[in-house]
């Protein structure tokens, strides 16, 4: 689900360095005119933010102590405070940029009007950090012909990190859509956790993605290390974990564990695994898991591969009853016997 935007009324860009390197903040001194680029901005924001998994600002004691929440709240209350509040936002981001691998970049902040959310329209603030600049060749037509100069700027095709904050649900911390294209460079938590300090509303997309992730972690650690299970049995757990989500729109945690693990001891171990990781609230709400099919399609589910010496790899997608493992005394070797109807 995407948003439609009526207009972009204000825009400013600040430069955010890395605090660990002492780079500092370069404040943009003026509101930037969006004449000629407004449609491009609306298109970039609209296509980049997915609204099926929304977050909200929070703080341990009260949301009013969340700095980004308070600055955005001021913007919604008084649009003329946009410039000053954007500088406060930039300072907070800089203070959070302490990991040496966090890249410097341009922080663009927009005030938007008529942003659609679930059929209604709201004001919104978009905060976007561009960590990579786009190189381009700028062509200028002149009286003597065409000249070319190298230029660089912010991409209009992709957002590295961003949030779109709707002026809905002020008391609950607003409705916030997130983009965080995390790279393995040490900055995996600073955008959502340290800078924005947001939590998911625990929608179906969030529940589905987290359930798949925690199940894969359990399979890759506890189950893989379990010598009592054959590799075919382990493969079938992965397969059932995928199929049970494909076949249901919602199901209880108990139903999920029973259908996936089909063993009381394994189901209990999975339940303990989830509890020890503190993930109960992230994979269900009131005991019910709501399945988002689009999140299921994008998720990486584990496919078990059985490596047979250096000659064969056997990839299991199902049909455990059609696989027989044995030992040939004459050959002195193990074997797998596979039953099938046709070769494709």
Q: Which of 95, 75, 76 lies closest to 16, judged by CA?
A: 95
* pTM of the entire predicted model: 0.72
127-137 residue pLDDT tens: 999 987 776 67
Q: If phi over 0 gives left and psi between -120 and 50 gives alpha, with beta otherwise, what is residue 6?
A: alpha
Other Cβ atoms within 10 Å of 227 Cβ, number: 6
**pLDDT over 60 (residue 29):** yes
Helices 231-246 and 204-218, packing angle to 10 deg: 180
> Which range has the worst mean pLDDT, 111-120, 179-188, 213-222?
179-188
* Mean pLDDT across the chain: 87
Q: What is the pLDDT of residue 286?
A: 64
With a pLDDT cut of 90, the percent of the chain lying above it is 45
**Across residues 89-96, what is the average pLDDT?**
96
**pLDDT over 90 (residue 223):** no
Rounded CA separation 204/119 (Å): 19
Q: What token pair was written down for 200? A: 């998911």
Q: Which residue has the tokens 């050959």?
A: 331
DSSP 149-186: EEEEEE-SS--SEEEEEESS-GGGT-EEEEEE---TTT
Query: CA-based Rg of the chain, rounded to a whole angstrom?
Result: 26
Element (H, E) at 110: strand 105-117
pLDDT category at 188 given cuts 50, 70, 90 is low
**Across residues 189-202, what is the average pLDDT?**
88
Choice between 316 and 41, residue whose per-residue pLDDT is larger:
41
Partnered with residue 109 across adjacent β-strands are: 12, 127
**pLDDT over 80 (residue 263):** yes
**Across residues 202-229, what is the average pLDDT?**
80
Q: What is the pLDDT of residue 301?
A: 58
Burial class (CB in 10 A: 0-12, 13-18, 19+), 229: middle
Q: What is the pLDDT of residue 50?
A: 87
């Amino acid at each position: 689900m995407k948003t439609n935007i009526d207009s972009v009324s204000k825009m400013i860009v600040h430069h955010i360095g890395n605090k660990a390197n002492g780079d500092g903040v370069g404040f943009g001194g003026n509101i930037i005119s969006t004449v000629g680029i407004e449609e491009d901005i609306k298109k970039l924001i609209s296509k980049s933010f997915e609204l099926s998994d929304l977050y909200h600002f929070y703080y341990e004691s009260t949301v009013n102590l969340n700095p980004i929440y308070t600055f955005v709240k001021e913007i919604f209350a008084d649009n003329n405070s946009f410039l000053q509040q954007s500088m406060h936002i930039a300072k907070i981001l800089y203070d959070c940029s302490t990991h040496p691998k966090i890249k410097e970049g341009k922080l663009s902040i927009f005030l938007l009007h008529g942003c659609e959310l679930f059929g209604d329209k709201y004001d919104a603030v978009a905060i976007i950090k561009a960590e990579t600049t786009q190189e381009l060749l700028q062509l200028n037509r002149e009286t003597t012909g065409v000249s070319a100069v190298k230029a660089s700027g912010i991409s209009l095709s992709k957002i590295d990190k961003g949030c779109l904050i709707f002026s809905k649900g002020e008391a609950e911390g607003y409705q916030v859509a997130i983009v965080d294209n995390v790279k393995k460079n040490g900055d995996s938590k600073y955008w959502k956790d340290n800078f924005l300090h947001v939590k998911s509303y625990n929608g179906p997309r969030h529940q589905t993605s987290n359930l798949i992730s925690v199940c894969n972690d359990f399979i890759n650690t506890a189950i893989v290390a379990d010598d009592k299970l054959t590799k075919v049995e382990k493969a079938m757990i992965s397969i059932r974990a995928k199929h049970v989500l494909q076949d249901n729109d919602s199901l209880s945690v108990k139903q999920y564990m029973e259908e996936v693990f089909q063993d009381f001891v394994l189901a209990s171990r999975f339940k303990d695994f989830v509890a020890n990781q503190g993930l109960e609230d992230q994979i269900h709400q009131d005991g019910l898991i709501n399945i988002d099919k689009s999140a299921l399609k994008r998720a990486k589910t584990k496919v078990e591969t059985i490596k047979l010496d250096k000659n064969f790899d056997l990839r299991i997608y199902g049909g455990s009853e059609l696989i027989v493992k044995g030992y040939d005394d004459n050959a002195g070797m193990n074997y797998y016997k596979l039953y099938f109807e046709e070769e494709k």
